[in-house]
Amino acid sequence: MKIYSMAFLVLIMFFSSKALLAQEIQMGKYSINNSAQNYTLDKLSGERSMTIDVNFEKGFEKKPQIMLSVTLLDAGINSNIRYNVEAISVSRDGFTIKISTWSDSIINGIAGNWVAIAGK
């Protein structure tokens, strides 16, 4: 997973080059696991999802685009690994990360990075 983290950082460095100096950029990390209250991604009951609210340190002038990565995935081994990570409810002040799984997949924990980019 460290290779993916390094690739993510290289991508961030590329996007923050001179061509994007007129951009606002904020970044951070997220994680959730089965010790969280009401965690359901490790239950064998069809479609399940969890959300993580992210508030920006400083609000953007315009609604940003969000890029998400997954750097850690702790999954059960007796079934297929199915998951989806998406940004929802994006505003100038924050967004929500929605993590979903379905069928008999078991996700014990998941973590990653996020980047928010908006033009000035």
Q: Which residue's structure tokens are 């400083």?
A: 58
pLDDT, position 44: 82
Residue 93 and residue 52 in contact, taking contact as beta carbons nearer than 8 Å: no
pLDDT, position 21: 55
Whole domain around residue 33: which residue ranges? Answer: 2-119
Predicted TM-score (pTM) above 0.85: no
The total domain count for the chain is 1
pLDDT band at 112, cuts 50/70/90? very high
How many whole angstroms separate alpha carbon 117 and alpha carbon 115?
7
* pLDDT above 60 (res 66): yes
Residue type present at position 75: A
CATH number, domain containing residue 113: 2.60.40.2080
Average pLDDT of the segment spanning 42-53 = 92
pLDDT tens per residue, range 11-43: 666 665 545 556 799 999 999 999 999 999 999
How many whole angstroms separate alpha carbon 59 and alpha carbon 1?
31
pLDDT band at 61, cuts 50/70/90? very high
